[in-house]
Structure 1
Amino acid sequence: MRKAAFVLGLSAIVAAPVMAADPASIDWSKISATTVPLFYPGQSSYEWLRSDKHPGASLVRDGKACTTCHTGKEKALGDKLVKGGPLEPMPVKGKNGTVDLKFQAAYDAKNAYFRYQWKTQNPYPGSEYQYQRFDGKEWKTYGYPKLDKVVQEGKQPAIYEDRMTIMIDDGKVPMFAQQGCWLTCHEGERDMPKQFTKEEVAANALLTAIKKNDVRKYLPASRTNPSDWKTGKSVEEIAKIKAAGGFVDLIQWRAHRSNPVGMADDGYVLEWRLFDAGKNMFSGNSDAKTKAPKFMWDAKKVGYKSITADQLRKGDHFLMGEQNVVPFDPNAGWKEGDMLPRYVLSRADAKGSAADNNAIANWKDGMWTVVVIRPLGLANDDDKSLKEGGVYNVGFAVHDDNITTRGHHVSFVRT
C-alpha cells in the first residue's frame, strides 16, 4: 500500500490511505504501528522545568526539546515519579509508572482515523463516572478521582472515567514541537503546586471575562508572564493569537461521557482548556437551584429508576437522552443510597464544531481499542485543519485507573 505523509512525528509512522466509508472495515493489520511510551509526570510543570530544581533547566530555557536528554528514559522517569517525592506529594498506591500506547493512523477522502490501544491497570473498563447519591435528605456527589484527598483518606470511593487524549499543533504554537504538553501545565492549576483559590479566581480579570471559576491548562502566549496564571492578556489580544492559529487542538475520547454515543469531544487550549463552539454530547444532570437530578432512568425501559453502590461496574450505567431517561420525579420514593449519574448523554444534542469527532471503541481482555474519526479540512476557527501531506506535532495522554487532571500518563511530543 502506498504511504503518504499525513501525521509526522511518530518515528517511521505515517498515515496510510485507505478506502473506508465504514471505519470498522479498515484492515488495521495492514497499517504500520508504533508503540509510544507514556509515563507518569507528577507535578513537573512549565515552571519547574525552568527552575533550578530541574537539572536540564538551562536547556529548557534555551528552547531545547525534552527529548534532548530524555529519549528512551520514559520508563525510568515514570517509575520514579509515581512512587512519590518532591514532584508527587500525593502518590496513588499501586499506580503504574508507564503505559505502552500502540498508535496507528489512516485516512480516506473525508476523514483521518486514529487508532489507539493500551492495557488498563484494572480488570474492568473505566466507564463509570461520578454519581449523585441521595443521603436521605439531599443529593450529593458520590465518587472522586484517586488524587483527591477524600479518596486517599478512604472517605469516598475512587470513581472516574478512562480517557484518551491527543494534542495537535500545526507548527503555529511556539515551542510546542520541543516541549509539548508541558507548555500547558502550570503551577496554580488543579492538583498542582500553589493551586488557585476561589478568591484569586474571582479577582482575575481574564477568568472573569471568559466566565471560568478555576484554573486549567493554558499556553504561555496567553499571559504577559507565562509563569503566572494571574497575568492574563486581554480578550482582544487572545482573539488575535487564536485567529493566527496559536492554539493546540485537544481531542478527548471519554469512556463514560462520549463513548456510549460514539463520539470524542473536541476542544483546544489557549487561555484555558476550552471546548469548541457548539454543544457537547454530555451535559450536567444537576439542577442549579435544587441540586437534585434533572433526569432519571426510565424504569419502563430499563427496569430501574436508579442504582446503588453495589451495582457499580456490573453493567452499563449511562443516562442516554434519546433512549432511556425521563424527567426526574422528586416524589418517586427515593431511598438513602439511590444513585444517578452526574451527566446525561445525547448524540442528537451535540452540535457545531464541538461535535466534529466520532469514535468507536471496545474493551476486551484488559485492553481498550479506540478509533477516533476526525474529518479532514475542517475550517472552524477552533480546529486544526488536517490535510494530506500536512505535518503536525502531537502529544498523547491516557487517564487510567479512576484518575483525572495531572494523574495521567503522557508522551514527549513527536515531531
Structure 2
Amino acid sequence: MKKTMIAGALGVVCAIGFSAAHAAPPADWSKVAATSITLFYPGVSPMEWITKGTEHGGARALKKGDTCADCHSDETDKMGQLISSGEKIEPTPIAGKAGFIPVKVQAAHDGDTLYLRFSWKQPKASGAAKMDDKNPMKIAFMLDQGKVAMADQSGCWASCHKDSRTMPGAADSKKKYVKDGSVSGGVFYDLLQWRSGEKKGFDGHVADTRVMEGGKALASAEGKLDGDTWSVVFARKFAGGEGDVALAAGKTYNFGFAIHDDHAAGRFHHVSLGYTLGIDAKADITAAKQ
C-alpha cells in the first residue's frame, strides 16, 4: 500500500500508510471527548498473584465477578507509588522510577477505521540503565472480543504470568500468553504497538504466545513529543485478518493499554486496569462516528 501523509495527524512516520481512499482522523481532537485513565507500575503482580487470596485481598471479589477497576480505579496512583518504591511486590525497585502516569484517551471512527489518541506528560527519567536502548518509549493497547478468560475483569492481566520473561526466575524465552490461547478459536488479544525510537507501529496478537506481526488491521501509528507531552494516534481498520479482532458499530470490547517509559522493557512498564471500548456503544471509552 502506498504510504501517504495524514493531514492533521501527529507525528511523521507510519507503520503502514493510509491509502488516499482513507479518511483522516479528526482534524480537531479538542472536540472529541477524553477519558482520563491513570496507568500504574505493577511490579510482580502476574495473573497467578491477583487470583491468589493469600496474597491479594481482591481475589475473593474477582471470584464473585467484580473487576479490578471496580476496586482500584480510584487508587492506581497510590498503588503505583507503593509498588515502585519497593514496599510491595517489587523485589528490584528502580530508584526514581515514576509510580504512575495519567493519560487522556480519545476515540473516534469514520465507519471503517477506529482512531485512538493517547496523550500524557512524560515522567522524569530515572537515570537507570536502559533496558531498551532503541526506544525511549513504547505504547501498546490490546483488545479482546469476549473470549479470553477474565479479560473482562482484569484487562491485559490474562496475558501476564509468573513464568513470563523478566518475571523473577522466569526463562528469557517465555513470552506473554493467554490460557487456552488460540487464534483460530478466537481466544486471543489483538495487540497494537508504537515504538518511539524505531518510529514504527506493530500489529500482532497474544494467544499461546505473543506475536508482534501478522495483523492486517493497523492503518497507521504515529507519535510526537511536543515539549514534555506525548501524543500518539493509532488508526485501526474495523476489518483485519488473522489475529485481528473484527470491530463493528454497536459492539463493545475489552480494552487495556500500557506504556514502556524511560527505555523500559518487559514487566517494567506502566499499565491500565481493564476497561471497555465501545463503537457507537456505551462503554468506559466510546468511539463515536465523526
Asked if Structure 1 and Structure 2 have the same fold, meaning a TM-score greater than 0.5 normalized by the shorter chain, the answer is yes
Amino acid at match of 1:96: A
Partner of 2:193: 252
> Following superposition of structure 1 onto structure 2, how do residues 46-195 of structure 1 map, counting pairs within 5 Å?
46-51=47-52, 52-122=54-124, 144-145=130-131, 160-195=135-170
**TM-score normalised to structure 1 length:** 0.57
**Considering only CA atoms, is the larger Rg found in Structure 1 or Structure 2?**
1
1:407 counterpart (268, 284, 288) = 268
Three-state SS of the structure 2 residue aligned to 1:181 is helix
Q: CA deviation at 1:161?
A: 3.0
The answer to whether the 8 A contact 1:265-1:354 is kept is no
Query: Once the 2 structures are TM-superposed, how far is the Cα of residue 69 of structure 1 from its aligned partner?
Result: 2.2
The 2-side partners of 1:56 and 1:360 are apart by 37
Amino acid paired to 1:387:
A
The offset of 1:61, in angstroms, is 4.1
CA shift in 2, pair 1:27/1:184, >3 Å: same
Deviation at 1:50, TM superposition (A): 2.1
SS in 2 for 1:58: helix
In the alignment, which residue of structure 2 is the partner of 1:265? 202
In 1, Cα distance between equivalents of 2:73 and 2:28: 31
Displacement of 1:361: 2.0
Contact 1:160 1:404 in 2 (8 A): no
Residue 203 of structure 2: SS of its match in structure 1? Answer: strand
SS of alignment partner, residue 183 of structure 2: helix
Output the CA distance in 2 between the equivalents of 1:390 and 1:253.
25
1:374 counterpart residue number: 236
How far did 1:179 drift?
1.1
Q: CA RMSD in A?
A: 2.2
CA distance change for structure 1 residues 264 and 355 in 2, over 3 Å: closer, same or farther? farther
Instruction: Give 1:196's match in structure 2, choosing from 171, 188, 192.
Output: 171
| % same residue | 36
Quickly say closer, same or farther: Cα 1:276–1:360, change in 2 above 3 A. Answer: closer
- Structure 2 segments unaligned to the other structure (5+ residues): 1-21, 277-290
The structure whose residues are more often strand, as a share, is 2
Between the aligned partners of 2:224 and 2:212, the Cα distance in structure 1 is: 25
Q: 1:166-315 residue pairs with structure 2 within 5 A? A: 166-196=141-171, 214-222=173-181, 241-257=182-198, 259=199, 263-277=200-214
Aligned partners of 2:212, 2:275: CA distance in 1, in Å?
Answer: 24
Q: Report the equivalent of 2:29.
A: 28
CA displacement at 1:62 relative to structure 2: 4.5
Amino acid aligned to 1:221: D
Unaligned runs of 5+ in 1: 1-19, 124-142, 147-157, 198-213, 223-240, 278-352
What secondary structure sits across from 1:81 in the alignment? helix
CA distance in structure 2 between the aligned counterparts of 1:385 and 1:103, rounded to whole angstroms:
21
Residues 130 and 262, structure 2, Cα contact 8 Å, conserved in 1: no
Which residue, out of 201, 219, 228, partners 1:357? 219
Aligned CA distance change for structure 1 residues 358 and 179 (closer, same or farther; 3 Å): same
3-state SS of paired residue (1:216): coil
1:220 is paired with a residue whose SS is coil
Deviation by residue 1:130-166 (Cα, 9 ceiling, x = unmatched): xxxxxxxxxxxxx7418xxxxxxxxxxx664301111
Q: How many residue pairs get matched?
A: 252
Instruction: Report if aligned partners of 2:217, 2:244 keep a CA contact under 8 Å in 1.
Output: no
> Residue by residue, what CA displacement relative to the aligned partner does 1:339-379 show, whole Å, maximum 9, x if unpaired?
xxxxxxxxxxxxxx35733122211120111111111222x
Give the structure-2-normalised TM-score.
0.80
Report the CA distance between 1:75 and its aligned residue. Answer: 0.9
Q: What secondary structure sits across from 2:123 in the alignment?
A: coil
